[in-house]
Structure 1
Amino acid sequence: MSSSGDIVAAPQKKSSIYTVEQFFNEADTHISDTEHTRYLGALHNDRQGFATYKHKGQEYLISLTPMDMGNFSTTDHSRWYLSLAVPYELVASRARVKILQTTGFSLALLAIIGALSFAFYRSNQQKRQELQQAYEEIQSLYRTIPTPIIRFRMEDGGIVLSDNRSFANLVGCPHETYQHRFRFFTKPAFIERIWALPDGSHQMEMLIRGYGKKYIWHLAFLEITTKPEGREVLCVLANISQQRAKLSEVTLVSQTDALTGLTNRRGIQEQLEPLFVSESTQGALLIMDLNNFKQVNDKFGHQAGDTVLASFADMLVETLPKTSFISRYGGDEFVVFLPNVNREQTCELAGKIKEELAKQFPLFVKTCQFGVSFGSVFFPDDGKDWDTLFAKVDDILYENKRLNKMGQH
């Protein structure tokens, strides 16, 4: 390269001025290739740099500093470099003195830091031991608590992360054998409901498949947390099968007619309302009223009347399709929903009911002119909800009863 300045105060020849090329090419001066490249790089970029070299067997440290010498009219160069060469031994000896001065202070400082670190370590170690002991106690409680607990990740069908002994006893197999998926122990509908829940605490009733593949009702307390790995769920289960059984029994009693054993007014309405929401549902809503039933009570007594109502209910169960919803709506009125039947089939079933009534109660039919009147509407053609359908079928029933009394129906 060509220099843009000269070296001042070169070693051994303090009054001499060397160009860079002259300095590096002098026979007694040796600089390594690495130092040479780094030094020339500094020259190129006008930066301060350092290099070590040997001159006549002695090592030197040279520093390079760019200087603006543009005001010298005797030169064509706009940039000069001031370089200071110092024997390396001098630098090393000064450095040793400085190091010795700072070593004592450093050692003392390190001793203080070491003492503080040791005290901090002992304190942390004691805290770690306390935390480890608390963690082991929690783990022991988690494993032995009689309440089933399971922690799973929602993704990929509910990957089981941990469980306790009570959960393993509930499902009848240890953790290692459950294929590590919570979905194997409950129904898909419950997994979908959990997915729909936001983070936080929730509770829901859930069927858990226990030992012997029998599903058992549990109340699940859920703590849902979204983490980078996915949504984690801590699930604590409480067996509520007995409570559910009692509730079902109470519900069954409240929805059952005591005399006939059929569903009562409340029961039939609660059974049909969910069906009317489905677009796939179709069928006939049929209402029946026993004609002159009051005369049966008046002539033969209320016990005979109760026998007639119970027998008529049994006859409906035997005559109508197994898929029918049959209820005693109140008094001598019966309501039936016949799924997937048309008008012609509904008329045929009504005819069978009249025939069976005449066979079973000939005395009452003859002495009291005992019989039955019908009203029928069709879902969804005549209405898409319970209130609309029942209002229409009730009107049709009473119109037919009026015509029956006039002998026109």
Structure 2
Amino acid sequence: MSPPPPEAGPTKHGEGAKHEHDGQATQVIREIMSGNAIISVLAVVVALVIGGILIAVTDARVIASSSYFFADPGATFSAVWASISEAYGALWRGATYDPTARTWQGQLGIFETLTFATPLILAGLAVTLAFRTGLFNIGAQGQIIMGATFAGVVGFQMHLPPVVHLLAVILAGALGGAIWGGIAGFLKARTGAHEVIVTIMLNYIAVSLVLYLLKNQLKAPDSTNPISPQMDANAMFPLLLGPNFRVHAGLILAVLAVIAVDWLLNRSTLGFEYRAIGANPKAARTAGMLVSRGYITVMLISGALAGLAGVSQIAGTEKSLDSEIAGSIGFDAITVALLGRSKPWGTFFAALLFGAFKAGGTSMAVNADVSIDIVAVVQSLIVLFIAAPPLIRSIFRIKAVSHEGANA
């Protein structure tokens, strides 16, 4: 029997250098994923501590009391404690439960946390799945936009029965994201184009394309702004707790997606291939696995998950399509996946944490007079420490675990 034909790919003399670069990128992913859960927790703790220092040094009471620090150091320390505790207390109450709020919506901030977390869960899963296959999917932002665009076209240009219309919107959104992610997977598999560059460029294309469509074909006829008509009522996710809260059935879809991705990665043959490719593409190829096919299929699934995040936006909270439909979700999803150590349930809880930051940030700004930008700083610090596990280990004197133990 003749041997199978080699997989399509680059044939230039730079192929060895490309494989070495891809191997280094895969090694970076494994290094980030090699820590246990305590590393993630400690990274959040360190970020919160530094954020607390920034809150204190920018607080007017602390600045005023520090002018007579040597005369009354206790006043300065009291002001520092008051500023930090008030800020993080307001953040916690805004994200969970605030008994001092005047309305039920204000008191039960946990539901706003769940609302913010829903698209982050789906987009985080998209990045997680790609990471586990050794790919940097930096294109979740563009995939969310295209998913929302496809879903929006079906949602506001078609009129279908209630359940059928919502299912059509979900499928259209998944298809839009899958197409956008599949482009990067196909180019990676067939030409060796690096997925980081391709997905970043696709992000720009998606933003410009949807803006063009909103100014022309998809523009609402009664609006002067680049915005689409509103989604048909039958195309929207039902609200889980009635009109007083924004949490919607997209949360159920996100939880089902977590269960499905967890099963795919840990209990299916396809998931085993993905993990093998992510661990060592050369060994996987030697074992007879079709690495190129794996790159294409994983980016299709990853893009579909990000597309569902777009569906949760347009059919869950936004109701119409605009150029800011994705916000910063696609980029936050990278942090969520890193914080969750590229594990589905870890990603789920990391998304809840970031949803809490978003829900509580407004409360912190209003009730504690702290800039909401501090929350963005804390999130950025989490990225920094998550991406540098040796730094956290050195701070807390934690011994490094082996890759085998980490990936078990």
Shorter-chain TM-score category? under 0.3
**When the two structures are superposed, what TM-score results if normalisation uses the length of structure 1?**
0.21
Structure with more contact order per residue of length (Cα contacts < 8 Å, sep ≥ 6)? 2
| Greater strand share, structure number | 1
- Return the structure number with greater helix share: 2
State which structure, 1 or 2, has the greater radius of gyration over its C-alpha atoms. Answer: 1
